[in-house]
Amino acid sequence: MSDCLFCRIAAGSIPSQKVYEDDEMLVFRDIAPARPVHVLLIPRKHIASLASVTPEDAPLLGRMLARANAIAIAAGSPDGFRLIINTGWIGGQEVPHLHLHIIGGPNPVGPMLKRSEE
């Protein structure tokens, strides 16, 4: 059994609130949503982060990106959304299995990032 949290969610051994799945990707609700719509789109294949993708992963990543709008609409954010892919410790990634945060809701998500002083 993999000790990767999202591999275990993909395998069904840890429960999740799934909103979409097919043979190569899975979408489930974030356990601590930052906005009314906040789901995580993951590949079933274990890819640790965007820092470890290979050229062979590019078509899969393209299909994940191409599905994001339909997922956002189905999840309740029909007029746009924000994608976030935290990568590595600089990016604030906590779960080392590549995931796209799809964030939206009835109201605008808000400013992208606060500007830091430096």
> Is 46 tagged catalytic?
no
Q: Note whether 33 and 45 are within 8 A (CB).
A: no
User: Which DSSP state fits 95?
Assistant: S
Question: Which among 51-59, 69-77, 88-96, 110-118 is the span making contact with ligand AMP, rule CB under 6 A?
Answer: 88-96
**Among candidate residues 5, 37, 44, the one with its CA nearest the CA of residue 19:** 37
User: Per-residue string for binding with Zn ion, 21-60, x by CB under 5 A?
Assistant: -------------------------x--------------
Q: Which among ligand AMP, Zn ion, none contacts residue 97 (Cβ within 5 to 8 A by kind)?
A: Zn ion
Residues forming a β-bridge with 18:
28
Q: Torsion angle of alpha carbons 18, 23, 25, 29, nearest 10°?
A: 0
Report how far residue 73's alpha carbon sits from residue 47's, in angstroms, rounded to the nearest whole number.
26
Q: Which residues pair with 38 in a beta bridge?
A: 103
22 to 51: interface string for ligand AMP, x by CB under 6 A: ------x-xxx-------x-----------
Give the range of 58-66, 69-77, 92-100, 105-113 binding ligand AMP by CB under 6 A.
92-100
Q: Which residues are catalytic?
A: 99
Interface positions with Zn ion (CB under 5 A): 4, 6-7, 46, 97
